[in-house]
């Protein structure tokens, strides 16, 4: 979702975008196979930047032991492969931008979380810590490395909002569209969000500036789950007051996944972006939702 939008934005401003493609793909690009640990390294010589957003979808399946290993491998294998390859190039890229997530902080409660905040606990936090650590070979070789600690990216094409609007499949049976949506659990958990447009613009900003290290890619106004549901209801012009009990989600998703993705939260602040001069187009959740639903 993010990668496709980013590629359009890069191409639109005149950059040449070369995709990394799997062996079975019919799309033109640089061949790579993270599970096998192979990539066409010579084809990466001389590129200006590498952006790695690869990773199996976090919330599509219950977190069994097998699924968690797949989630882990899909992120660590791809990042480690690219970081080591980039480090060994004669003409290295200036910057290596790698995906991460606000899940790095675990359940933050009411604490305001900046990039200086320590990691939390739990599977998702451990995964993010290992994910970011996998970029070390590139950083050790002198490449500027950035970790995108993204929040909930607002888009109906996928991600948390797409799942929220259509948890059972077709969008037309969305509980929110029928006035049956509402806060999840207690509704007091913080949901750090960002519009898809601002997510892409933030990545462009990161590519073009000297910013490095972890970057909270979130809007400056995080909201609680209850306020998010209310804003979504107003945008859809539907009531959004029927709470969804936490135990229902735990039955549907499994306790660990429901806690990590929905019932816990992070009051994350985009300190690094703000300090670097980035300006958000969508600072309020209502405008972000309007933008997502208009698209």
CA pair distance 161, 52, nearest whole angstrom: 22
DSSP codes, 196-227: HHHHHHHHHHHHHS---EEEEES-S--EEHHH
pLDDT (tens digit, 9 = 90+) per residue, 97-136?
999 999 999 999 999 999 999 999 999 999 999 999 999 9
CATH of the domain at 108: 3.40.50.720
Cβ atoms of residues 131 and 178 within 8 Å = no
State the pLDDT confidence band at 158, using cuts at 50, 70 and 90.
Answer: low
CA pair distance 47, 16, nearest whole angstrom: 10
- Kindly report the average pLDDT of the chain as a whole number: 90
Q: Is the pLDDT of residue 247 over 50?
A: yes
CB atoms within 10 A of CB 183: 20
% the chain with pLDDT above 70: 91
Q: What is the mean pLDDT of residues 202-218?
A: 97
Q: Please state the pTM of the whole predicted model.
A: 0.92
- Find where tokens 């976090």 sit: 58
Cβ atoms of residues 147 and 100 within 8 Å = yes
Total structural domains within the chain: 1
CB atoms within 10 A of CB 248: 13
Q: Give alpha helix (H) positions in the chain.
A: 2-12, 65-88, 123-133, 136-140, 159-165, 196-208, 225-236, 246-253, 255-258, 271-275, 285-294
Q: Which range among 69-73, 94-98, 168-172, 253-257 shows the weakest confidence by mean pLDDT?
A: 168-172
Q: Taking the CA atoms of 177, 152, 261 and 108 in sequence, report the sign of the dihedral they define.
A: negative
The pLDDT of residue 265? 92
Bridging pattern class, strands 112-113 and 267-268: parallel
Residue 135 has phi, psi (to 5 degrees) of -85, 0
State the pLDDT confidence band at 179, using cuts at 50, 70 and 90.
Answer: low
Domain range holding 73?
2-294
**What separation in angstroms does the CA of 169 have from each of 37, 165, 166, 213?**
35, 9, 5, 37
What is the C-alpha end-to-end distance of the chain, expressed in Å?
13
Q: What is the mean pLDDT of residues 212-234?
A: 93
């Amino acid at each position: 979702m993010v990668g496709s939008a980013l590629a359009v934005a890069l191409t639109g401003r005149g950059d040449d975008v070369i995709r990394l493609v799997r062996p079975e793909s019919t799309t033109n690009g640089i061949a790579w196979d993270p599970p096998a640990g192979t990539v066409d390294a010579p084809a990466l010589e001389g590129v200006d930047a590498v952006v790695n957003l690869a990773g199996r979808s976090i919330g599509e399946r219950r977190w069994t032991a097998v699924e968690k290993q797949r989630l882990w491998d899909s992120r660590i294998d791809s990042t480690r492969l690219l970081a080591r390859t980039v480090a060994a190039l004669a003409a290295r890229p200036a910057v290596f931008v790698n995906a991460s997530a606000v899940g790095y902080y675990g359940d933050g409660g009411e604490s305001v979380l900046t990039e200086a905040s320590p990691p939390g606990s739990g599977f998702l936090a451990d995964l993010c810590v290992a994910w970011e650590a996998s970029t070390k070979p590139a950083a050790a070789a002198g490449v500027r490395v950035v970790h995108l600690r993204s929040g909930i990216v607002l888009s109906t094409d996928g991600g948390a909002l797409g799942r929220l609007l259509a948890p059972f499949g077709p969008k037309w049976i969305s509980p929110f569209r029928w006035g049956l949506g509402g806060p999840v659990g207690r509704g007091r958990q913080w949901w750090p969000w960002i519009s898809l447009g601002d997510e892409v613009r933030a990545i462009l900003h990161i590519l073009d500036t000297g910013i490095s290290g972890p970057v909270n890619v979130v809007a400056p106004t995080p909201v609680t789950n209850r306020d998010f549901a209310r804003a979504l209801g107003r945008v859809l012009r539907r009531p959004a007051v029927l709470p969804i009990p936490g135990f229902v989600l735990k039955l549907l998703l499994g306790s660990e996944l429901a806690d990590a993705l929905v019932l816990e939260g992070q009051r994350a602040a985009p300190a690094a972006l703000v300090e670097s001069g980035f300006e958000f187009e969508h600072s309020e959740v209502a405008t972000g939702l309007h933008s997502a639903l208009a698209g």
